[in-house]
Structure 1
Amino acid sequence: MQIFSTFESTSYLEMAISTLEKEGIKKESIFAVPLDNRTEKRRVFDSLHRSDGISLIDIGAALATAFSVIGASVGFKLKWGPIYWGLIGAGTGLVLGIAIRLFIELVVKRKRRLLNRKHSEIILIIDCEESQAEFIENVLWDHFALGVAKVQQI
């Protein structure tokens, strides 16, 4: 049986490995693989082949609707009339909404991503007998593994 787990690069990983070695798991049965984290910044704009599910025009569409209604209503009293002022209001709302969404994505969420710096940095693979699997899984969870999976070998 193989047990896979992911850890951050901390002393808890080293303590988990030493605990497993003290309990009789051979050094040759433990394999740790460090991962390379993404070095390039995330893109804000989607491409044809990649989408992150975040829409930049959702707030813009709502504000365009609201501003066009207000512009058309006020436009009855203004010189250019309700159609032009409705279009001006829609354009203004769309631009304002896109600016708000870009600010949220580039400034607010970037700070949140920098604070949450939890990455799976190391994959730990352990070959063991099926009778040892439950103990090893408990040791890994006790030492703050980010994820654990068991694979039965055929």
Structure 2
Amino acid sequence: MHVIASFPFSTNVELALKKLEENGVLKNNIVAIPLKSIKNGDHILDTLYQSDGHGTLDLGFILGTIFMLLGAIYGFVLTWGPIIWGLIGLISGISLGFIIRYLYIKRKNKLYLPKEQKTEVILIIRCSEQQIPMINQILINHRAIGLGELQK
């Protein structure tokens, strides 16, 4: 039989291991696996398979439409005409909206995301069926996040 437990990375893991050894579980029957935290890079554009809910082009399209309209209106009075000024307004509006949204997302991520994510430790304990209730109780008392049993 195997008992599998998940712990947050803290001193409770060490205390649980010590208590298990005091209650007759051998050291070579315990495996502790610390998980490494993985930092996912920030994505500017959403893809079909991954979306974080931040549309970076929405503001750009809105500002592009407004600037294109203003460029076409005032292009009648300006030298190059309404079509060229409409295209200039479209490109500058999309660029400005993208830059504003990108800087906003960067600032928001810097302010509100935790600097370091806590990782977990997975314990795998080989034991007999008689030891399972005692091991489960020790792990629960030392704040295990989850417990599971694997029968062979």
Question: TM-score interval w.r.t. the shorter chain?
Answer: 0.5 to 0.7
Q: How far off is 1:149 after superposition?
A: 4.3
The CA deviation at 1:5 is 0.8
Cα 1:2–1:61 change in 2 (3 A) is: farther
- What is the match of residue 35 of structure 2? 35
Structure 2 letter corresponding to 1:118:
Q
Q: Show the counterpart of 1:2.
A: 3
State the number of aligned residues.
145
Change (3 A) 1:13 1:97: farther
8 A Cα contact 2:20 2:135, kept in partner: no
Are 1:122 and 2:124 counterparts? no
What are the within-5 Å matches in structure 2 for residues 50-129 of structure 1?
Answer: 52-54=50-52, 55-72=55-72, 74-75=73-74, 78-79=77-78, 80-113=80-113, 115-128=114-127, 129=129
Does the 8 A contact of 2:5 with 2:123 survive in 1?
Answer: yes
**CA displacement at 1:24 relative to structure 2:** 5.0
Q: Which amino acid aligns with 2:18?
A: S
Query: What is the alpha-carbon distance in structure 1 between the residues aligned to residue 91 and residue 43 of structure 2?
Result: 22
Q: Which has the larger radius of gyration?
A: 2
1:16 alignment counterpart: 16
Please point out which of 140, 143, 151 is paired with 1:138.
140
Distance 1:51 1:153, change over 3 A: same
Question: What's 2:146 paired with?
Answer: 148
Q: Per the alignment, do residues 116 and 81 of structure 1 end up closer, same or farther by CA in structure 2, a change over 3 Å counting?
A: same
Name the TM-score, length of structure 2 as normaliser.
0.64
SS for the counterpart of 1:126 is strand
Instruction: Report the more deviating stretch, 118-127 or 22-31.
Output: 22-31
Partners of 1:151 and 1:68 in 2: CA distance: 64
- Structure 1 unaligned spans of 5+: none
In the alignment, is the contact (CA less than 8 A) between 2:4 and 2:149 conserved in 1? yes
Q: Tell me if structure 1 keeps the 8 A contact 2:4–2:147.
A: yes
- Conserved in 1, the CA contact under 8 Å of 2:4 and 2:148? yes
